[in-house]
Amino acid sequence: MRKIFEAELKQLGNDLVDMSGQVEVAIAHAGTALLTGDLQVAETVIAADQAIDALERDLDTRCVHLLAQQAPVATDLRIIVTGLRMASTLERMGDLARHVAQISRRAYPRLAAPQALSGTFAEMSAAATRVAQRTTTLLETHDLDLATSIEEEDDLLDHLHEDTFTALLGGNWNGTPQETVDTTLLSRYFERFGDHGVSVARRMVYLVTGEFLEDGSPVR
Amino acid sequence: MRKIFEAELKQLGNDLVDMSGQVEVAIAHAGTALLTGDLQVAETVIAADQAIDALERDLDTRCVHLLAQQAPVATDLRIIVTGLRMASTLERMGDLARHVAQISRRAYPRLAAPQALSGTFAEMSAAATRVAQRTTTLLETHDLDLATSIEEEDDLLDHLHEDTFTALLGGNWNGTPQETVDTTLLSRYFERFGDHGVSVARRMVYLVTGEFLEDGSPVR
């Protein structure tokens, strides 16, 4: 009985890694779609989000079943409750990747990111992809150094988000309303990737150390 | 033992109602701050969000303790897992109210909502407040008719969100970049209140009926 339960917990962990891997691909591809205007890549991200949503529902159901059938305590309980929450956060990251891809698709054949900000969005896309990659590796290895590095990428995304607003509001902006709207939303979505990555990172710290850190305190 | 556990479950329900009531006040006040430019009201919303965050952490801790100590099954388990998730969603609604208040504060003494869209934002604010009020009553009474009415308010918020974008992108928009940015973000935040309200409503349907509905299907 214990052996089967342990196998199920392990499978839960593996599935979270798998889900995070899919989110990572979605974020990387959403960035590509945004920066290159590749319509097919945008469509791929939009379609793939359904699989991510399905993974969340599946993980969710299994976590609740494990709670009901195994009445876990201590570390086992922590693994399952954390799994529930991470699945929900990863699903939200998938939604954001879809939103970025949808903006790119709507702009096609124009590029959604204005020329003047293409460098900033390239940086944001790279940072968001690193957040997702490190999240996947953190889930896989439980190496808490990655949690620190996710916080750093989140700081970078916050700065880039501010840069975008400075560009929009600095007085030299002459984009169309559509460009202003798209830039505002895109920048907000990228900034949120960082927040969600930090949320997963902090939950992993909680899982490994038993300590949950408040907003604003460093991961370690 | 069972008696204490039942009292704790009841307290959990009461605290969610209390939390939802605080979120309701935050959303209503955020709307007032936005529409009237009242700086003090904006400050109140921003300050009150800390109490909402603290409530979430408290509810969260207690849910995990109940899972560990009581090993609940069936309905009891469902109440606790649903409580965990609702607390997280309500906390997010509180954050959004804070974001609206922060935009109002930054715009002061100017009004953040452009004159041409003040009617639309008044409608959005009223609809978001109704979402929150109905959420509180739904949590209190478990009356599933309210879930349907929350879905309707969410549809209304989606339409108003589209109206805003039509106004921004219809060719007659002559707002400043700051107004365009603020309008985009505010409209997005109000639209999200509806999504979160629907999320709580669907979880309540799950709690009462045991059936969880997919995105897009009606609440009942």
Task: Write the Ramachandran bin of B111: left for phi over 0, alpha for psi from -120 to 50, otherwise beta.
Answer: beta
CB A147 within 8 A of CB A217: no
Phi, psi of B86 (to 5 degrees): -65, -40
- Average pLDDT for consecutive 10-residue bins of chain B (220 residues)? 90 97 98 98 98 96 92 90 95 98 97 96 98 98 97 98 97 94 98 98 90 51
User: Which domains occur in chain A, in start order?
Assistant: 2-209 (1.20.58.220)
Cβ distance B68 to A74 less than 8 Å, yes or no, reads yes
- C-alpha to C-alpha distance for A171 and A128, rounded to whole angstroms: 28
CB pairs < 8 Å spanning A and B: 59
Give the pLDDT band (50/70/90) at residue A191. very high
Cβ distance A165 to B181 less than 8 Å, yes or no, reads yes
Q: Which residue has the higher pLDDT, A63 or B218?
A: A63
Q: Output the pLDDT for position B123.
A: 98
Nearest CB to B67; choose among A67, A168, A180 = A67
Comparing CA positions, the residue from B140, B139, B44 lying closest to residue B101 is B44
Any CB–CB contact under 8 A between A211 and chain B? no
Q: CA angle, corner A214, sides to A211 and A220, nearest 5?
A: 55
Give the pLDDT band (50/70/90) at residue A2. confident
Q: Which residues of B touch A188 (CB under 8 A)?
A: 185, 188
Q: If 0-12 CB within 10 Å is exposed, 13-18 middle and 19+ buried, where does residue A2 land? A: exposed
Tokens for A170? 């600095």
- C-alpha to C-alpha distance for B84 and A90, rounded to whole angstroms: 17
What is the rounded average pLDDT of the residues A199-205? 95
Q: State whether the Cα torsion B216-B217-B218-B219 is positive or negative.
A: negative
Q: Which of A44-48, A184-188, B212-216 has the lowest mean pLDDT?
A: B212-216
Cβ distance A177 to B181 less than 8 Å, yes or no, reads no
Cβ distance B74 to A64 less than 8 Å, yes or no, reads no
Q: CA angle, corner B26, sides to A96 and A163, nearest 5?
A: 40
CB B42 within 8 A of CB B108: yes
Comparing CA positions, the residue from A61, A59, A76, A55 lying closest to residue A4 is A76
Phi, psi of A84 (to 5 degrees): -55, -45
Give the pLDDT band (50/70/90) at residue A220. very low
Q: How many CB atoms lie within 10 A of CB B9?
A: 18
Any CB–CB contact under 8 A between B167 and chain A? no
Spell out the residues 6+ positions from residue A50 whose beta carbon is closer than 8 angstroms to its own.
Answer: none
Cα dihedral: A156, B91, B199, A21 (round 10)? 30
Any CB–CB contact under 8 A between A17 and chain B? no
Q: Which residues of B touch A65 (CB under 8 A)?
A: none
Spell out the residues 6+ positions from residue B47 whose beta carbon is closer than 8 angstroms to its own.
Answer: none
Interface predicted TM-score (ipTM): 0.92
- C-alpha to C-alpha distance for B77 and A9, rounded to whole angstroms: 19
Nearest CB to B77; choose among A67, A73, A185 = A67
Cβ distance B177 to A169 less than 8 Å, yes or no, reads yes
Any CB–CB contact under 8 A between A54 and chain B? no
Any CB–CB contact under 8 A between B53 and chain A? yes
Q: Output the pLDDT for position A212.
A: 60
- C-alpha to C-alpha distance for B158 and B154, rounded to whole angstroms: 6
Comparing CA positions, the residue from B32, B33, B26 lying closest to residue B49 is B26
Nearest CB to B181; choose among A78, A84, A168 = A168
CA distance A180 to chain B (A): 7
